[in-house]
Amino acid sequence: MSHYIPENLPSKIQHFIDGQFVDSIGGETFDVLDPVSNESYVQAAAGQKADIDLAVAAAQRAFKTGPWPRMLPRQRSRVLHKIADLIEARDQRLAELETFDTGLPITQALGQANRAAENFRFFADLIVAQRDDTYKVPGRQVNYVNRKPIGVAGLITPWNTPFMLESWKLAPALATGNTVVLKPAEFTPLSASLWAEIFREAGVPDGVFNLVNGLGEEAGDALVKHPDVPLISFTGESRTGQIIFGNAAPFLKGLSMELGGKSPAVVFADADIDAALDATVFGVFSLNGERCTAGSRILVERPIYDDFVARYAERAKNIVVGDPHDPKTEVGALVHPEHYDKVMSYVEIGKTEARLVAGGGRPEGLETGNYVSPTVFADVAPDARIFQEEIFGPVVAITPFDTDEEALELANNTRYGLAAYIWTNNLKRAHNFSQSVEAGMVWLNSNNVRDLRTPFGGVKASGLGHEGGYRSIDFYTDQQAVHITLNEAHSPRFGTAK
């Protein structure tokens, strides 16, 4: 299979600090691989504590003395809309780079570019329409809320849809007047390097946006522990989230963490089975299965179980696996050989725990690259590792249930609680089940289509706090209460007794 390489790849990937592309102070670098050849195609600057210090100092200067936090909302809004225009104008290039760097199918990468632009438009509109609370006690007191940007936000993003997930944090952080230091995932730094030119062209002042590449243990760790970074927004694994939580504790930082998932898709016998099949196949095999909200445990009511498993396996076998740059490809290459090895180890574990009905190895004809056949296990017991642990690849576990109570027990039987998908035409059951399931987000008879106004976040090991809509505004601002007395201030007169 010929290996597509985009034109005009950078000769190196640098940091972007205070309006300048720079190498690491100590010259440290790391190799970046493409997931089809697994060969290094570029060296990226590996940020250390000294580089983070430089970036935070630039962001702090821009916050304390620069124009960005002091602009009128309408002025910032115009800049954010310009950013969205520039993203849309570059969508083909962005998708091409993202696909090359991540192994995501090109059609899905294109969708991510459009979603990134929409994130900026949404917050550009929201800050102009923003209103805050006022409380009155007639004739006595007026109290109002004064929102203020907090300072330097540390943004740490994952490798699974890098550019889109960066936009998700950058848009609200910048819209509210903060300055930022972004640390993208080390596996996928390519598309993040586009932000610098986009922001510069849109008129974002120097120092407002800073980018430091590097490893989580070095650059990420230094950002979390920096005393002048009051906010950390992190998306990634639950274990890493626990480490960040501990390291941020001495500084009492604001934390927003969107962590792992092992989300259930519950299919009742009265559901529209064709629609449920379409959604549950897409829900775990889109984005190569590398998505935190993947419905990776499918719970199916007994009367339809055998038929559902057979039809699901047939669909999985027919999924087009191949070159991520081919528009016909539905599942591309996993992001990195380390991750490929992890996913393949779970495939082998699954073979000892359950019944393999599709996939289970490397697709024929794809001898190199991080390719995994869409893999389906049936009759998966709730104590199986493939039922309990996040695999983050094109692997799904299907389990039968007999009663609503058993379905709920199975759905809630993991440490995670990010999303849940419920397929039923019984209105009462739909609402009762939705409200009882331990998940931050529930989709009823629908796939993962998200309204940007709604809160995004998980419960249990899946996260801390919510972003999205006004929740993002809340996270990135201080809400200062200002109290005004409208009549004489009556205070007890201490110290006047004779």
The C-alpha atoms of residue 156 and residue 420 are separated, in whole angstroms, by 25
**Which uninterrupted H or E stretch holds 419?**
strand 419-423
**Catalytic residue (choose from 28, 98, 186, 258):** 258
Q: H/E/C letters for each residue in 235-278?
A: ECCHHHHHHHHHHHHHHCCEEEEECCCCCEEEECCCCCHHHHHH
List of long-range contacts for 470-476, beta carbons under 8 Å, 24+ apart: 470/126, 472/123, 472/172, 473/126, 473/127, 473/130, 473/147, 473/172, 473/175, 473/176, 475/172, 475/231, 475/233, 475/254, 475/256, 476/149, 476/150, 476/153, 476/172, 476/173, 476/175, 476/176, 476/178, 476/231
Residue type, 39: E
CA atoms within 13 A on the CB side of 392: 22
Supply 32's token pair: 């970046």
Supply 275's token pair: 């629609």
First to last CA, the chain: 97
**Which uninterrupted H or E stretch holds 481?**
strand 477-485
The C-alpha atoms of residue 224 and residue 208 are separated, in whole angstroms, by 18
The C-alpha atoms of residue 481 and residue 469 are separated, in whole angstroms, by 21
Spatial strand order in the sheet of 375-378: 355-358, 375-378, 395-401, 297-301, 264-267, 419-423, 441-444
Q: Is 258 a catalytic residue?
A: yes
CB neighbour burial string for 24-47, b if at least 16 within 10 angstroms, e if fewer: beeebbbebbbbbeeeebbbbbbb
| Catalytic residue list | 258
